[in-house]
Amino acid sequence: MRITVLVLFFCSNVFFAQNLHVIYSNKNSKFTTFQEDLFITKENTISVRDSIVKNTFDEKNAMSNNQAVFFTKEKLHKIIYYKNSIPKIIIKDYLGDNVYFVEDKLPTLNWNTNYTETKNISGFICNKATTVFRGSKLTAYYTKDLKFSAGPFKFHGLDGLILEISEDGNTEFNSWIAKEVDTNYNGDFKFPNVNNVSLISLKDFLQIKEKKKEEDFNKIISKAPAGTVVTRHKILRNEIEKKYEWE
């Protein structure tokens, strides 16, 4: 008897890429947009927020509406997020020209994936998920076709790569969306070694940052004409991280 064995191979759209490069557009304020690059290899996962900002502030229109907006004149640097040891990450950040390596122990992200909505982003079908991260309610779209539990900034923890994420109720900023996805990246990006750097906690870094802001503000006020009355109001954080674990 002759027996024929039929073997069926099922093809899918799931990519198990060795090297991945995603370019995100990060709208981080009402007037400013940055590019953020995510690089993933077998050994490393790193995000790089570019130092070049796209500023859409309309000065003439703002002046006609009696608005006052101030932008820093300090040199901007690339901010690098080393994400090899989630939930702990290391951030290379700057205050002025002083470099800091900041250790951030991320809180657990409890994702709700019980949604039927999908969206096509950069050619990938993405599923909806929601969570709360440091005081912000977020909606993300992730693709199961890219089996990386990663995303831009500090986002992670889904069964696939996050290609879009934004703050609920905020249509102007605090958003990331993938513009380009290279599933076979062969570029020459060099992953820096941070094994022996001196680390500072995120809490301590933010305290130093706040102190510097106060010093910069006092310098500006010191140059005001005599008799100038300065009224200060507490401004709530409007960035994506609104409340930290120690607060």
Assess whether the previous peptide bond of 87 is cis (omega < 30° from 0). Answer: yes
The amino acid at 142: Y
pTM to 2 decimal places:
0.83
Tokens of residue 150, six digits: 């990663």
Distance between CA 217 and CA 228 in Å, rounded?
A: 14
Give residue-wise pLDDT tens across range 201-240: 999 999 999 998 877 777 777 777 777 776 766 677 899 9
Q: 155 CB contacts (<8 Å, ≥6 apart)? A: 109, 133, 138, 140, 162, 165, 176
Tokens of residue 40, six digits: 């993933």
Give residue-wise pLDDT tens across range 54-101: 776 555 454 444 444 444 455 678 999 999 999 999 999 999 889 999
Give residue-wise pLDDT tens across range 101-148: 999 999 999 999 999 999 999 999 999 999 999 999 999 999 999 999
